């Protein structure tokens, strides 16, 4: 029997090689993320598999798809996870190297209720993790993650006979064929496909060509787990700037960028301008609401406030619901409401039938964007962007904050903004019109501008976004004169990953 996991093991010791290391901080709100080595070892991953197998048995399931992303350690982690799942009596279907949406697709393709995708997503090298689900197309939320944490850390797993492992071929081809079936482009387009040398590089260029893209310009589409140019994260300024440069160099109609596990899509227009995913979501919502009257859309609290005021959405009878940031939260809310689509500023797009299957998929999102352009043959992507109301939205900025401190920090910020509102205080001369506190705090000002402070769900960071309805300078002032000084008063706050 595997020993109870410990949190105090150190590499290059006898105990590290013979006992499971699992630090509690790796169990996030809706998936699991650890630094491989100092936070979890292979025996710890095996313990995770035993715990996950026990949990899904408790949920009345045993058939589970497993897959891994393209990092040098991901295969070994998947194999350790599989050992635990088999010991727990699970029927494991291994589809090999995959993007996360391919693993979600395999749940439908192979009639498997459960999934465990070994991926650190867009996190830097050194990180690993698992995205899990037991009710397609949904992934775990805080309840399931809390139960899993209790089982694993308490060694409350149950070994069962009857476990098995099968290696399944052909899923990748069926996944691409299914994604390609979502659109067939007649308009001749030149598209930069940016993959940051991550897992999507094995699939996205082929998928775009098969959708009918006339010219696919491959950018960093060689698999390379060292990520030599930049981290595959289309919300990161470095990747977006590289995409922008490629659009200008090749005279492309747009660039589509995919993150490390292929469930997110970033966009640069024909003028080389970066379009944040919430604005792309608004463009898609305008387009789709004209085809599907009275549609409902779900957006996360990091997204632009324009969804709530857009005249085109109002004319088409569309309804928009703001909800918690996080792929699991938006996915669940989109399913719960029967929404046509859900959008996250980070680049997660969720499309329910007839457009998609409900899970986040960067390639299906690319198909939806290309289909929108095909339906507007006389307009460039920059034209569709310029037709939107004006709002000046910042990058997503994340100062370091320890996992054990970040929620307390955010609670303190929420209390400060609540007190400021109750005292009729102002921010840069504007009264607070509303506080949305479903996920940290989004402070809406009387002119429609807003600031957001929340705890990251998967890294030791605070997340900051600001938006101004006035000007780019005002947007920067909201950050530099309001949010940054407020956070800087707290000693737990460290350096930012990027700033405006």
Spell out the residues 6+ positions from residue 447 whose beta carbon is closer than 8 angstroms to its own.
430, 469, 470
* pLDDT grade for 220, boundaries at 50, 70 and 90: very high
* pLDDT grade for 16, boundaries at 50, 70 and 90: very high
Contacts of 470-478 with C-beta under 8 Å, sequence gap 24+, read 470/392, 471/392, 472/392, 474/392, 474/428, 474/449, 475/392, 475/393, 475/394, 475/449, 475/500, 476/394, 476/500, 477/428, 478/427, 478/428, 478/449, 478/451
Superfamily of domain 275-359+378-386: Alpha-D-Glucose-1,6-Bisphosphate, subunit A, domain 3 (3.40.120.10)
Q: What is the pLDDT of residue 466?
A: 96
pLDDT at 303 over 80: yes
CB atoms within 10 A of CB 390: 10
So what's the architecture of 392-488 in CATH? 2-Layer Sandwich (3.30)
On whether the CB atoms of residues 91 and 164 are closer than 8 A, the answer is yes
* pLDDT grade for 213, boundaries at 50, 70 and 90: very high
pLDDT digits (tens, 9 = 90+) for 107-136: 999 999 999 999 988 888 999 999 999 999
247 vs 243: CA distance, rounded Å:
6
Tell me if 174-271 shares its fold with 392-488.
Answer: no
Q: What is the CATH number of domain 174-271?
A: 3.40.120.10
pLDDT digits (tens, 9 = 90+) for 59-86: 999 999 999 999 999 999 999 999 999 9
Q: What is the pLDDT of residue 122?
A: 82
* pLDDT grade for 325, boundaries at 50, 70 and 90: confident
349 vs 285: CA distance, rounded Å:
11
Best CA proximity match to 449, nearest among 428, 418, 420, 480? 428
Helix (H) / strand (E) containing 104 = helix 100-109
Question: DSSP of 22-70, one letter per residue?
Answer: B-GGGB-SSSEEEEBTTTB-HHHHHHHHHHHHHHHHHTT--EEEEEE-S
Coil, helix or strand for 19? coil
Q: The tokens 């290059």 sit on which residue?
A: 12
State the Cα torsion 303-271-349-196 to the nearest 10°: -110
**Mean pLDDT estimate for the chain:** 95
pLDDT digits (tens, 9 = 90+) for 20-63: 999 999 999 889 999 999 999 999 999 999 999 999 999 999 99
DSSP state of 461: B
Best CA proximity match to 396, nearest among 340, 447, 457, 342? 457
- Sign of the alpha-carbon torsion through 79, 177, 227, 235: negative
On whether the CB atoms of residues 114 and 56 are closer than 8 A, the answer is yes
130 vs 434: CA distance, rounded Å:
36
**Catalytic residue check, 289:** no
Q: What is the pLDDT of residue 1?
A: 83
Q: What is the CATH number of domain 14-169?
A: 3.40.120.10
Helices (H), 220-326: 237-250, 277-291, 311-315
Catalytic residue among 74, 76, 100, 121: 121
pLDDT at 228 over 80: yes
What is the domain partition of the chain in residue ranges?
14-169, 174-271, 275-359+378-386, 392-488
pLDDT at 293 over 90: yes
Angle at CA 359, nearest 5°, toward 304 and 226? 85
Best CA proximity match to 195, nearest among 265, 138, 244, 123? 265
- Angle at which helix 277-291 crosses helix 362-375, to 10 degrees, equals 60
pLDDT digits (tens, 9 = 90+) for 407-462: 999 999 999 999 999 999 999 999 999 998 988 999 999 998 999 999 998 789 99
State the Cα torsion 367-372-376-382 to the nearest 10°: -100
pLDDT digits (tens, 9 = 90+) for 145-165: 999 999 999 999 999 999 999
Q: What is the pLDDT of residue 327?
A: 86
Helix (H) / strand (E) containing 488 = helix 484-488
* pLDDT grade for 209, boundaries at 50, 70 and 90: very high
* Percent above pLDDT 70 for the chain: 100
Interval 279-286 mean pLDDT: 96
Preceding amide of 137 cis, omega within 30: yes
483 vs 488: CA distance, rounded Å:
8
Structure tokens given for 337: 């409401």
């Amino acid at each position: 029997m595997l020993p109870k996991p410990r949190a105090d093991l150190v590499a290059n010791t006898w105990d590290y090689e013979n006992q499971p290391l699992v630090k509690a901080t790796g169990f996030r709100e809706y998936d699991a993320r650890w630094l491989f080595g100092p936070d979890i070892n292979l025996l710890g991953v095996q313990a995770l598999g035993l715990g996950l197998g026990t949990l899904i048995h408790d949920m009345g399931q045993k058939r589970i798809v497993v897959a891994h992303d393209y990092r040098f350690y991901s295969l070994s982690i998947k194999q350790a996870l599989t050992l635990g799942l088999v010991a727990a009596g699970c029927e494991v279907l291994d589809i090999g190297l995959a993007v996360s949406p391919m693993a979600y697709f395999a749940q439908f393709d192979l009639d498997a209720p459960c999934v465990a995708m070994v991926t650190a997503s867009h996190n830097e090298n050194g990180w690993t993790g698992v995205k899990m689900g037991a009710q397609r197309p949904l992934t775990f939320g805080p309840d399931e993650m809390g139960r899993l944490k209790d089982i694993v850390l308490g060694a409350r797993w149950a070994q069962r006979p009857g476990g098995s492992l099968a290696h399944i071929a052909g899923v990748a081809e069926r996944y691409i064929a299914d994604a390609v079936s979502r659109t067939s482009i007649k308009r001749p387009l030149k598209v930069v496909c940016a993959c940051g040398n991550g897992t999507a590089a094995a699939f996205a260029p082929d998928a775009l060509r098969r959708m009918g893209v006339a010219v696919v310009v491959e950018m960093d589409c060689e698999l390379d787990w060292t990520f030599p140019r930049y981290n595959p994260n289309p919300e990161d300024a470095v990747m977006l700037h590289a995409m922008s440069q490629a659009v200008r160099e090749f005279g492309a109609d747009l660039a589509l960028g995919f993150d490390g596990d292929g469930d997110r899509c970033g966009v640069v227009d024909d003028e080389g301008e970066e379009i944040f995913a919430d604005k792309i979501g608004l463009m898609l919502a305008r387009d789709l609401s004209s085809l599907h009257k009275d549609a409902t859309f779900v957006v996360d609290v990091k997204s632009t406030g324009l969804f709530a005021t857009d005249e085109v959405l109002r004319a088409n009878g569309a309804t928009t619901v703001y909800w918690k940031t996080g792929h699991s939260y938006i996915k669940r809310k989109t399913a719960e409401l029967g929404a046509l689509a859900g959008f996250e500023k980070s680049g997660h797009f969720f499309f329910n039938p007839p457009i998609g299957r409900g899970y986040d998929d960067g390639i299906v999102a690319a198909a939806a964007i290309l289909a929108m352009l095909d339906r507007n043959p006389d307009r460039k992507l920059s034209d569709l962007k310029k037709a939107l109301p004006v709002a000046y939205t910042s990058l997503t900025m994340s100062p370091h904050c320890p996992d054990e401190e970040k929620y307390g920090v955010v609670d303190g910020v929420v209390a400060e903004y609540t007190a400021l509102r109750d005292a009729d205080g102002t921010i840069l001369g504007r009264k607070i019109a509303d506080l949305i506190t479903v996920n940290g705090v989004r402070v809406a000002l009387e002119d429609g501008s807003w600031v957001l402070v929340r705890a990251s769900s998967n890294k030791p960071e605070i997340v900051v976004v600001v938006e101004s309805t006035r000007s780019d300078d005002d947007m920067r002032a909201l950050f530099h004169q309001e949010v940054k000084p407020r956070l800087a008063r707290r000693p737990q706050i460290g350096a930012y990953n990027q700033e405006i």
